[in-house]
C-alpha cells in the first residue's frame, strides 16, 4: 500500500484479536481484505447465539443466555471513533 508516496505495510490481520480488527476496519472501511478476514473470524469463532424470531419483547424472558450476552457485549463495547 502506498500512502503519500511512502510504502506502508498492512497489519497481519490473522494475528489481531477481534476487537483490534474491528477497530481497524472501522477506520479503514475501504480495506476489503480486513473486512472479509473479520467476517470469517466472527463466523469461525461463533460468539453469537441463534434464536428464533420473537413475537413480543416478553419473549426475551425465554432466552436468558441471549440477554446475558447482550449485557456483557454492552459492557465491552468498543467506542467508535
For the residues 43-64, what does the mean pLDDT come to? 80
Res 49: pLDDT: 66
Res 73: pLDDT: 77
Res 20: pLDDT: 94
**Pairwise pLDDT comparison (13 vs 71), residue with the higher score:** 13
Instruction: Using pLDDT thresholds of 50, 70 and 90, give the confidence band for residue 48.
Output: low
Counting other chains too, the contacts that 22-27 makes at CB distance below 8 Å and 24 or more residues apart are 22/78, 23/78, 23/81, 26/80, 26/81, 27/81
Model pTM score: 0.51
Amino acid at each position: 500500500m502506498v500512502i503519500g508516496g511512502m510504502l506502508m505495510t498492512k497489519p497481519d490481520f490473522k494475528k489481531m484479536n477481534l476487537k483490534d480488527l474491528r477497530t481497524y476496519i472501522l477506520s479503514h472501511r475501504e480495506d476489503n481484505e480486513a473486512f472479509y478476514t473479520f467476517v470469517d473470524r466472527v463466523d469461525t469463532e461463533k460468539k453469537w447465539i441463534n434464536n428464533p424470531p420473537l413475537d413480543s419483547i416478553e419473549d426475551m424472558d425465554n432466552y436468558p443466555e441471549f440477554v446475558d450476552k447482550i449485557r456483557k457485549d454492552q459492557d465491552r463495547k468498543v467506542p467508535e471513533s
